[in-house]
Structure 1
Amino acid sequence: MFNLFKDESQNVNSFFLFMQSLVNRNLAAEALRVSETRYRNLLENMDTGVVYLNNAGTIISANQAAEQILGLQSDDMMGRALTETCARIVREDGSVLPHEQHPAMLALRTGKPVENVVMGFLNCVRQDHTWVMTSSMPEFRPGERQPHQVFMTLNDITQRKLAEEELNLASVIVNNTGEGIIVADQDNNIISINPAFTILTGFSRQEVFGRKADFLQSKKNTIKINDELHKSRKNRHSWQGEMWHRRKNSDDFPCWTTINQVKDAQGKTTHYVYVVMDITHLKKAQNRLGFLAYHDPLTQLPNRMLLKDRINHSLQNARRESSLVAVLFLDLDRFKIVNDTYGHAVGDGLLKEVARRIKNLVRKEDTVSRYAGDEFIVLMEDFLDAKSPARLARKLIETFNDPVEVKGHRLQITTSVGISLFPRDGDDTDSLIKNADAAMYRAKKEGRNNFQYYNPELTTQAFEKMAMESDLKQSIDRNELVLYYQPQICLTAGNIVAIESLVHWQHPTMGLIDPARFISIAEESGFILAMGEWMIETACKQMRHWLDEGAPMNKIVVNVSAAQLLRSDFVATVERILRTHGFSPHCLELEISENSFMDNVEPIIKALNGLAEAGVDLTIANFGKGYFSLINLKRIPVKKLKIDSSFISEMLRNSNYEDIVRSMIALGHSLDLKVIAPGIESEAQQKLLAELDCDMGQGHFYYPPALPDANFFAK
């Protein structure tokens, strides 16, 4: 209903004003509708979830992003409290978030924004938690102090949260793993390590930061980290293998190392990750298993498998060098009685003691094996002659003369030994073991507690040699050693210049034995030391007797061995004997054979220089055999060279030998040495030697070796 005024003009104006107001109001409503539509479209297309709650905490609006985040349709949320739509809301630590502490509730209650709160909603569709970063902003009507609604945003951070959890888990694993971890940059410079690495190596982060990762490599390595990195880059894969690393204290340790490349989106290597696992205990276990595979667990000796391998190897060397190999087969006599009487624990203790005694007797290069039960085998190689194994066999038998104490029991045992030799008794491992076993059974048949060669002839020879050795060791006490004497003559004047002493053995049953038959036995048994001292003592005593009788002599000659020279007190012993008999050192001349210089050259040269400094004259005997380096003649203050007698005996029949003798005489004179020729048997030999300007001679042509009562000085 319109109000009409009396003034027609005024009424019309009022009508138009009213109509204009209606139009403006409609335009505003349309604009508001358009704005609301745009706002709604904006909310619906946002990635951020948006939820409106009224002042009672009831959902009045939610966009599609919120529906997806919460796993609910809008119709299921409208008019319901947020806590009803999300049955379970949790904090970051997993605890349930109470309704009153929900950020939206706090914003409604306090009227203040609550921003950037992380919490988890149970997604009803997936039945798992969706993690969100939420902020709640209160909205106020004009003039009101309490908000009439809350505008809540929800940002899905589930993937970031999972990534953080994975990263945290990885960090926990890295920091708590027992393996050392190194992170290096693309240039292999260390940028990070874990605590286990410090425990493993002793290096702190500050000590390794910026250093090349390969500084940890031990010199024991046969592979290089840089080489493996190059291969890894080239082949685009990780590398793993066994390496030796070093600790801060310089100790080396074995480790299993894995090197992985870290690449960027373009496939370029940005980092290297090293995982280092200490395998010391594993290596020890492997070594132990390897040891047990080839050794007897009771005695720790090589077992049958390792023994056969070593015999095979020694036979290869022996074939190449034409040398000997011996297999000694030992069996304990009546061992079964010990086991049956005292039990296996005592039997095992006995076997361990047997192994120890055998091991203590053999040389370092010999192999001792527990072959089976109470059977042991000794492998010998690199020995002098076929009789050498017999000497070891006798020692093995003698070592059990002393009782064995095991667990309070005093056991007296014996052993039987069989010996086989390569190549005489077999050409392969099995044959040598079988034949040594057969020889051992023959030893048992001979009464046990003895040894037998597989070849009976060698057994006889070995027993004869051992009997001679036993008798020889008693020869001094029994006054059976005798010195024979032979003058050395000046070839120009014909007078005696010295008398050489030569030892013989007056054996009670075998008669007079030439030194060639027993000197080697004396050297092998060590008796040469006692015999050598007796020779010097006896020769000096005889010279004193001759001088007291007015004999025209001024020098006695005694032969010495390398074993004597190697004794630290030898020079002092010689000086003591000379003082006892009142002689000047120049009254004694010591001869040492050229072949003594085959071994221990430096210690022998040192001993000879000590004798020369003491004033004793020295002669190199058997010169020309080829063992002696001519350079050493300048290092030893010798006075004479004695040519080997084989050259003298052949020089009249072979001109080559004459040339050799001439050369040796010339060599001696060029070094200002006297030269003596032994073994002169004829006037023709004497005449030729005189023509060659030889200084002295010795032999049957002048005087044969004789006892001291021979009248050398009457001629």
Structure 2
Amino acid sequence: MKNDQKKPVILEIQCAHKIKKLLVSHSQHLVDGKITFFFTFASIEREMGDDSRVDLYRQVFERSNQCIYLTDADHNVLFINPSFTQFFGRSSVEMKGKKSDILFHQDSKDIHNEAIDRLINEVDQMELRMSCVTAFNADKPVVCNINIVMIHDDGAHKFLHFIEDITDQVSAEEKMKEVAFQDPLTGIANRHSFNLKFNDLYSEAQRKGQQLNLFFIDLDKFKFINDQYGHKYGDALLIHVAKCLQKSRKVSDFIARLGGDEFVILIQNDHTKSELESIARRILSELSRPFILKDLDYCCTCSIGIAQYPDDAISQTDLLNAADSAMYIAKHSGRNDFSFYNYEKQKQTTFSEKRFQEIELAVKNDLIQLHYQPVHNMATGEVTSFEALSRYYDEQGELHLPAYFLPFIESDPLIYKLGVSQIKEITRYLKILKHHGIQLPISINLSSYQIKSDKIINQLKAVADDSPDIVRLLKIEVTEIMLFEDDSIAVKNLSYLSKLGFSLVLDDFGTGHSSIYSLKKIDFETVKIDQIFINEIRSPKGGDRKFLNAIIAMIKNLNAKIICEGVETKQQVDYLLQRGCHTGQGFYYSKAMPKNEILTYLGV
């Protein structure tokens, strides 16, 4: 080795257990009059490992499909990846040293600045929903989900931004909100929207000591139109009535369709009875104008009930019942009329009370029976399960659907008695089917009141204890609205039933307002798409199917099974199969049937 060699070299040296790469350097010195060489050995494998990791991080940064960029604390852009350029249409040369503010819509700039301040002072990571502006179309902001992570680099703050375009997701969410709060037929507010608005206005009236007026409107002879000419005529009439009511109201008045031919109007602030009478007469006059109902010359009439808070009732339920009672007074007085709530007349048995007494007797005498609608594999035609549906045969033998009786007992203990009885009946019938070698699941619909009932939960616990082989065949079906109400007791009980082994089914998906996050809180095995969206397949407007497709994609993202409700045509079957939906129920296959027809239907 030459004396002037100073440059370190890398050597592979056999150490105790393995060959290592070492950085070897030397120096020479005079020791006791002799030239002595000193060698220094340093492992470089750690440093090379760090270089490898840096190279790996660089590759992830550059090759990621997600838009990523880095800024300093002054919002100067330091680095961008290629996906950034593809998304924003701005190159690294163009962005180097530029402020990141140019990437955000004016409405989102303050949000971003506040987020950076919080990251510096409070947290290390934040996730935001903001509007971004691209070079491709500066006039059309893109809705993005932005995840910002703060990095500490030699005492300086740097901020790594991960951007995801969620414009389509937000559009789907907005559509879901519209469906959740809007009556799909008439376009005005639906019952759910009314309940929320009623609660807000009632609370405001209480707080301010003001009056709140409620009009309950029911069409005269609507059933005759439906029965005589068909539902298309009835639907056309409902659309016409909604338009007339909108013409008759003030901007501040709130109009909603509760269902069927029932409409309500909420009117704020103090009004004399004379003023409310004028409003009622204006509505009657507007509705009674002759018009063409499809191909009929028709004149629509209605009955209106009027109730006032606090004069007629001091609770929301009582106010709604008072307006309903007043409406029946108007109807019994000859129709095409209005009536104010009258306590003396209300003391007589009201329609609701009569209906409740009727249903109470029906439950006692087991007149409310279960029918079973088959669910089919749409590819093979095989029956995969059944849904149990309540039906009521009155004393005249007329069949009534749940809308006729359930609303009158839904908040009464009677609903718990009915639920326990139906759970027992389904459990017995599942055992009978099993005896015949048939192990097809049956789902039971439970309301939010029932799910929160200890009696119902205890009965299901008894099934799990006494018949564990039946648990997997008894599915619990609940509506999406229950999740939107965000009731902690209902969520807790559903989670408990899932732990017991019961499969959970979410009904009417898309008609409520639950987020994906809220759906993920509960382990749903199956999600049902409501008939409203299945009907879009038959719409001549192809664009109407986009929301159905979005819902299908969202459910698949939950890794849940899909059942399509209300399947009525071969066209719907073919379209759903093309979209990867293989299970459906509806009149295309069969209506709900009594249990004595099931074995025949299955070919047993």
TM-score of the pair, normalised by structure 2: 0.46
Question: Relative CO higher for 1 or 2, CA cutoff 8 Å, sep ≥ 6?
Answer: 2
Which structure: larger Rg? 1
Please, what TM-score do these two structures have when normalized by structure 1?
0.39
